[in-house]
Amino acid sequence: MPSATWSSAKAKVQLRLSVQRLRTIQQKREAQAKSSRRDIALLLEKGKLESARIKVEASGSSHPQSELYLFTQEHSLATSGNMILINDDVNLELLELLELYCELLISRFGLLDQNTREPDPGINEGVCAIIHAAQRAEVKELQILRELLMHKYGREFSAAVMENRGGCVSDRVVKKLVVETPSPQLVDGYLTEIAKAYGVKWTSPTALTVGRDEGSKVGGQPLAAEEPSEALPVYSEDGLSGHTPKLPDLPPTEDEDEKSNRQPDQAGPPESPADDFESLARRFQALKKR
């Protein structure tokens, strides 16, 4: 167990320092990712597809002590010093989550400072997330906070959190800690978005293959196009990414209905009141005959 003992004043200081440090690291890595995307766009422009793919999915020196870095060092084809673009997007989301959990503990510090052997339900998710994932954040202040929390709640509770017994750690955090090789489709998706953002004319080989296969049929029926399994970030030249959701189609208002009904009438000459009266008279006569 860590040698640190629980101190309310020290815990509050470490929480605030952790928030500041996490924000600084996020800003630094976002700037590095922007530079890396520019390099990848340049490689695509020069036709160096394999080098671009490696930079998107493979290694870099921005995580010198993390498990993620060690994994990619063993499994990558080259180590060029650039960011791990796909995995770093996930890592940035993890840092943002940990920052939010620290802010939650700050706002509910009264619950954290209670003399109990298990955290209050109002802070349980934040405490478990920090104990379980802080080692992957490479933030010294967060490591100290983790040791304080482990000492406060004891060996058994800390061991259960580290093993995620009973699913005590949020699924959002657990998914961000999974290290896996990105699929070729995901890599091509990232390359496509980067090419669009920097105005590079490049088409994914996967997209070309899908386009050729659209005309083929199985059992007399055309093949249905598969839906993308993962959402991709939309990059722009300023380094920001986001998704632009499609707005739902809204029903027309009464004014719009009136305007649309008037448009066909304007095409021909307007009917006179006498014509309207004669038309109504003919309709009434037809109804009487029924």
In three-state form (DSSP H/G/I as H, E/B as E, the rest C), the secondary structure along 229-284 is CCCCCEECCCCCEECCCCCCCCCCCHHHHHHHHHHHHHHCCCCCHHHHHHHHHHHH
Higher-pLDDT residue of 285, 168:
168
Q: Tell whether the model's pLDDT for residue 254 goes beyond 70.
A: no
Q: Tell whether the model's pLDDT for residue 82 goes beyond 50.
A: no
Mean pLDDT, all residues of the chain: 74
pLDDT band for position 2 (cuts 50, 70, 90): very low
Q: Tell whether the model's pLDDT for residue 71 goes beyond 70.
A: no
Closest CA to 2 of 134, 97, 173, 170: 134
Identify the residue whose tokens are 């293959």: 209
b (16+ CB within 10 A) / e for 124-133: ebbbbbbbbb
Which stretch of 131-140, 166-175, 189-198, 238-247 has the lowest confidence by average pLDDT? 238-247
pLDDT at 277: 61
Integer Cα distance of 171 and 129 in angstroms: 10
Average pLDDT in the 232-242 region?
A: 51
The pair of three-digit structure tokens given for residue 274, joined into one six-digit string: 């006498």
pLDDT at 233: 56
Integer Cα distance of 146 and 11 in angstroms: 9
Q: SS3 of 145, please?
A: helix
pLDDT at 262: 54
Integer Cα distance of 99 and 17 in angstroms: 10
Integer Cα distance of 69 and 87 in angstroms: 10
pLDDT at 272: 54
Which stretch of 129-138, 160-169, 171-180, 238-247 has the lowest confidence by average pLDDT? 238-247
Beta bridge partners of 235: 241
Integer Cα distance of 137 and 24 in angstroms: 12
pTM above 0.85, yes or no: no
Which stretch of 26-30, 98-102, 279-283 has the lowest confidence by average pLDDT? 279-283
Q: SS3 of 218, please?
A: strand
The pair of three-digit structure tokens given for residue 286, joined into one six-digit string: 């037809």
pLDDT band for position 169 (cuts 50, 70, 90): very high
